[in-house]
Amino acid sequence: MTNQGLPETGVEIRLASRPNGFPVRENFEIAEAPVPAPGEGEILVRNEVMSVDPAMRGRMNDVQSYVPPFQLGKALDGGAVGEVIASNSPRFQVGQHVLHGLGWREYATLDAERAAPVDPDAAPLNAYLGVLGMPGMTAYVGLFEIAKFREGDTVFVSGAAGAVGSLVGQLAKQNGAAKVIGSAGSAEKVRYLTEELGFDAAFNYKDGPVAEQLAQAAPDGIDVYFDNVGGDHLEAAIDQLNDFGRIAACGAISVYNDTDPTPGPRNMFQIVKKRLNIRGFIVIDHVDLRERFQTDVAPLVRDGRLRYTETVVEGLRNAPDAFFGLLRGENTGKMLVTV
């Protein structure tokens, strides 16, 4: 510790090498790094909880995308919430809690403009990384802005027990969906969707062909598909969509670790025949909707009408294991790591 009582060093997790296929422990390095004192306009945050997200897998590849790839030998980053322990900015005082983008480390020194205040009395800190954070807003934007959900729609959500999918289904139900169907990877997750979250139907995609199970769950077709998985789920949804159906393409976790190009859906002409609308989206393009999202969703969380589950892994050094578990689908709801 310095004379001012601030840390001199802290643990951080770096990308040691780029994964080839599914990531392994050797792709990560746990290191002790100097903690810079905050300069003008900066704050120093002691991280308390951080997020691991499927999109982080793409950033481990050295390819151009909507965000820069992680750099070898450098700490990874991602959503985190922590306490301000030193401030060189009038925006924040010591003791405040903030949401920011420098996870995967014990301490984060950053420009105060890149942090947002959060209120631990209004909601648990974890919620600002899940239901009230990026996953919640992704669900909200994808369903209402991208898929143009309408009352009376039948909605299919893949990866429905995850942080985003579980919220999509609930928001659709609460806004008048005729039927909400989800897919998940275990019998326990299927039970969670139908018995706890109020999905009308759900199936385990490991139990048989997705196309057959979706057709059985939605004999009259679907109007909206919220895609978190891609692959056979997307092909099945295209077959089952009604005319003028809409697809919000959020992710494709089924192919994130593929080393060879994955064949596309074999039924692409259905897009023309049915006049389908497929739109990919990234939530960072829709910051203008953040206030509307908070206004609409925060009361639902506060009143217990929007339920959410978290899978929490203890300890920063175990963050790589939490990430592996996320990619294997071992989480129910949001996957978080306490620092």
Return the number of other C-beta atoms located less than 10 Å from residue 21's C-beta: 10
The 3-state DSSP composition of the chain as helix, strand, coil percent (nearest 5) reads: 30, 30, 40
Which residues in 291-310 are b (16+ Cβ under 10 Å) and which e?
A: eebeeebbebbeeeebbbbb
What is the predicted pLDDT for the residue at 146? 98
Which fold, 9-124+309-338? Answer: Quinone Oxidoreductase; Chain A, domain 1 (3.90.180)
3: pLDDT strictly greater than 80: no
DSSP character at residue 127: G
Could you report the per-residue pLDDT of 116-133, keeping only the tens digit for each?
999 998 889 999 999 999
pLDDT tens-place string over residues 155-164: 999 999 999 9
User: Which pLDDT score, from 0 to 100, does residue 253 have?
Assistant: 83
pTM: 0.87
**Which has the minimum average pLDDT: 193-197, 262-266, 267-271?**
262-266
* Alpha carbon distance 203, 200 (integer Å): 11
Residue that has been written with the tokens 């999509």 in this structure: 168
The CA distance from 169 to 177, in Å, is: 9
* C-beta separation of 327 from 158 below 8 A: no
- Per residue in 87-121, pLDDT (tens digit) is 999 999 999 999 999 999 999 999 999 999 999 98
The whole-number average pLDDT for the span 178-197 is 97
For domain 134-284, the question of CATH label 3.30.1280.10 is answered with no
Measured distance CA(34)–CA(21) in Å, rounded: 32
pLDDT for 249 beyond 90: yes
Average pLDDT over residues 2-9: 74
Q: Which two three-digit tokens encode residue 7? A: 């840390």
**Max CA pair span of the chain:** 71
**Domain chopping of the chain, boundaries:** 9-124+309-338, 134-284
What is the model's pLDDT at position 4? 62
